[in-house]
A and B are shown apart, each in its own frame.
Chain A
Amino acid sequence: MSSKINIYLIKYAINSILRQKYKTFFIVTIFTFLVFLLTSIFFITNSIRYELDSTVDALPQIIVQKIKAGRHYDIDVDKVDEILELSGVSDAVARVWGYYYFENAGVNFSVVGIDKYENQYKNSLQSIVNKFDFEESSDEPFMVVGQGVKEVMNSSYFKEYFNFIKPDGTLKKVNIRGVFDSDTQLESNDMIVMSNETIREIFDIDETKATDIVVKVANPQEVSMVASKIKLMLPDSRIITTQDLKISYQNIFDYKSGVFLALFIVSLFTFFIIIYDKSSGLSSEEKREIGILKAIGWRVDDVLKEKFYESFIISFFSYMLGSTLTFAYVYIFQAPVLREIFVGYSQLKTTFELPFIFDLQTLFLVFFISVPVYVAATIIPSWKVATLEADEVIR
C-alpha cells in the first residue's frame, strides 16, 4: 500500500505550487537563472577546453626550435636529417611559418608554409593539401586562407589576391586560391597556407633555414626519450613536446576560467543565501497548514513526502528549464556575452564556434548542487514544524 505512489499527494503538491503563484514564480525564476548560469559556465568552459585540447592534440608531438641569445632563431634544415636518424622518430618536417601583421586591419595572420609532397604534420593541413591542388605549375603564387582571414581581406578590398609587403619593402602578390574551414576554428581561423617557396620569399628566409622542425614519434611512449636525445644532439635547441604545450595552453585557460570561477562562486553564493533564507523559517501561514494537516490525521512523513514532491517538482522543473535554456543559449546562439570573457584574443579569433558536447557530468553536477539542496532546504524546516505538537502550531 505504502509503496504505491500516492497520486493525491502529488496532486496536492502541484496544487500547492500553483496556489502560491508569486512564491512559485519567484523561486522558478531564481532557480532557473542559477541553473542556467551554472550550466552555461560549465558548458562554455568545456567546449572551449575541448576546442583547445583538440587544437593541441592536432599539434606535432615534438617541436624543435633553435634558440640563440635566448630568442627563437631560424634552424638549419639539415638538422632534419640528423633527427631522422634517431630510433623512434617516424618523421621530421622543417616548417616555415610566421605571423604577418596586416596593418590596415590591425590583425595578425598566421602564415604557414607547406610542401605538398611531404607528410603533413597536421591532419588539417593534409586535408587542405587534398582539397586544394597545390600545383605550382602556374607561375603565380597562391594561398589558401581561413574564413576569418578571407573576411578581413575582403573588407580591405582584397578579393582575388593579397599584396604582402616583403622585408625589403617590395610587394609580393599572392592569389587567393580558396577558403578552408576546419574542425577546430580557434586555431585556424587566422591561418594562411601557402607553399614553402612563397612564404620563404615573403619572410625572406633562406632555403637552408626553417622556422622550426616538427618531429613525429610513432610510439607516444617514446616521445620524452626522443625529446631528450634531440636536446643532447642539438644543445642550442628548445624542445617543446605536446605535453608542454598542453600545460601552457592550460595555464592561459585556467587564468581565463578564474573569471568564470568567480562568477560561479557568486551565483552559488546567491543560491545558498536564498536557501538559507528559506530554511531559516516558514511563514505562519505555512506553519498553520502543516498543523492543520497533522490535526486531521497526517503523519510527519506524509507531510514531508508532500513537501518533497512539492520542492522536487518545482526544482526539477526549474532545473530542466534552466538546462534547456543553456543548450539553446550556448549551442544555438553561441553564448553571446559570456563567451566574450574567454575569447579576448584578436578580432579574428572571436568568430570560432563552440563545438557541441553533451556534457552529462556537468548536468549531473549542477543537478546535485541545486535540486537536493533546495529539497533539503524545504524539508528541514517543514520537519521542524511537523514534529511540534499540532496543538501548539494551530492554537
Chain B
Amino acid sequence: MSKKIFVLLFILVSASVSVYAFTKTASSEPVLVQSGEEKHWCPVCGMNLKMFYKTNHTSKTEDAKHRQYCSIRCLVVDMKKQNIPTESVEVVDAKTEKLIPAHKAFYVVGSKVKGTMSKVSKLAFASKEDALEFIKKHQGKLVDFTTVLKLAQDSLVFDTSMIAKKKKKKIYPMGKKIFYKMCDTHINLAEYKEINELKSALKNDNLCRPLKEKQLQATALYLWEVKRLGDLGDITGKISVQKDEKCPVCGMFTYKYPKWVAQIFYEDAGEQKHYSFDGVKDLMKFYFNPKEWSNDKVTTKKDISKILVTDYYSQVAIDATKAYYVVGSDIYGPMGDELIPFIDEEDAKTFYMDHKGTKVIKFKDITPEEIYKLDE
C-alpha cells in the first residue's frame, strides 16, 4: 500500500518537475529567418524570438520577405495587415526545435504550459508520437493547423485586451521611465517601420545605454505603442478640487469625497471655470437643468465646454461623455445611489457583475428620469 503511494507520489513529483522543466527558450542557437540585426525580435510585438522560440512561427510574404513571429498570435495579427499565403507558414517543432511546415504539424492546444501572448498555449510537433507524449506529460488536445489558426483568430480580441491591461498598468510606465533615464530622447520614431527595427536601433546604435532584454522590450513598447502615437494613452491624473468648492446641487464640500468628484467646465470671459460635484448623480441633475443650479453663465448644455468624472477603478479623471456608467450597484456615493463611471466598457461590465448593478449605460443614454429615480 505504502509502496503504491510512494510510486504515485514519485510520479506526481516528477510530473510537476517536468512542468517546470519545460521552457520555451531555445536550447541552442535558434534559426532566425529574418535579415539584419532586427532578426532577433518579433516584428509585431517586439518580443525576443529566442526566449519564446518553441512557439515561433515564420512566414514568407508575397514580396518574398521572411518574417518570424514570437507566436501564432502575432502571425494572426500580421496576416490581417498583409497578404500572407498560409502554405508559407512554418513553425518550430517544440521537440526538435527545427522549422517545419505548419500545415503538416501536430498542434497541442491548452496544455499546462503557458501560452505566448495568449491564455492558451499552442505548441507544434512534427511527429504525432511526440505530440502525444507531450500531452501525456502536460495535458492538452491534439489539433491541426487550420483549427489552431481559427482558434488564434477567435481569441485575438480577448488576448489583445489581456495584454493591453498589463501593458498599460505596468510596461508603459516602466518603459517611459527607462527611456527618459537611459536613452537619447531625440530619437525620430518615424524612421522605423517596425518595432523590431526600433529595438535593434535602441540596442545597437547606442541610442540607449546597455539594457537588459526586459527593459529594452518595455522601452520599445512604450516608444512604439505610446510615444509614437503622441502619448495619448497617458493618464491625465486626478480631478483636483479646492477646499472651498461646494457641490452646487447638494451644497456639500466636494474635497471630502475625492473618490466621487466630478466637474463641469464652462467659459467665462475667455477664462475656463468649473463647477465641482460630489458624484455623477448631482452632476447629471445640473447637466439636465443648469439654470436651476448655476449662475447665469451656464444656462443650457451648450455653455458646457467639458465634463470630467472620476473613473471608479483607476481614480483618474475621464471624459464623462465617453464613459460607461453602472446603475443600481451596491456601492454608494456620498449622496446614496450613484452612477458609477468607467472609461473602459469591460471594467464597467466587471463592476456590474461584482457589485450587482442593474445596467450599464452610456452617457448619451442617461435620462433625467433615470437620475431622479436613484433618489427614491
Contact = CB atoms under 8 A, between A and B. Distances in A.
Are chains A and B touching in the complex at the 8 Å CB cutoff? Answer: yes
Contacts of A137: 209-210
Interface stretch (A17-25, A77-85, A261-269): A77-85
B162 A85 contact: yes
Interface string B313-342: 111100000000000000100000000000
A219 B169 contact: no
A92 B170 contact: yes
A184 to B, nearest CB: 24
Contact of A221 (B170, B209, B259): B259
B347 interface: yes
Interface residues of B, number: 29
A237 to B, nearest CB: 17
Contacts, number: 56
Interface string A212-232: 000000111110010000000
A221 B331 contact: yes
Contacts of B259: 219-221
Contacts of B169: 84, 89-92
Interface string B208-251: 01100001001000000000000000000000000000000000
Contacts of A219: 259, 312-315
Interface in A78-113: 78, 80-81, 84-85, 87-92
Interface in B132-189: 162, 165-166, 169-170, 173-174, 177-178, 181
Contact of A87 (B114, B177, B218, B346): B346
B354 interface: yes
A88 B354 CA distance: 11
A29 interface: no
A61 B31 CA distance: 45
Contact of B166 (A85, A218, A221, A225): A85
B166 A117 contact: no
A131 B316 CA distance: 28
A178 B112 CA distance: 45
Nearest to A88: B313
- Which of A119, A137, A219 has most B Cβ within 10 Å? A219
A118 B347 contact: no
Interface in B267-316: 312-316
A155 to B, nearest CB: 36
Nearest to B166: A84
A225 B354 CA distance: 8
Interface of A: 78, 80-81, 84-85, 87-92, 117-119, 137, 218-222, 225
What are the 7 tightest A-B residue pairs by CB atom distance, in nearest-first order? A218-B315, A87-B350, A88-B313, A87-B347, A84-B166, A117-B174, A117-B177
25 contacts: A78-B114, A80-B170, A81-B166, A84-B166, A87-B344, A87-B347, A87-B350, A87-B351, A91-B170, A117-B174, A117-B177, A117-B178, A117-B181, A117-B218, A118-B174, A137-B209, A218-B313, A218-B315, A218-B316, A219-B259, A219-B312, A219-B315, A222-B312, A222-B313, A225-B354
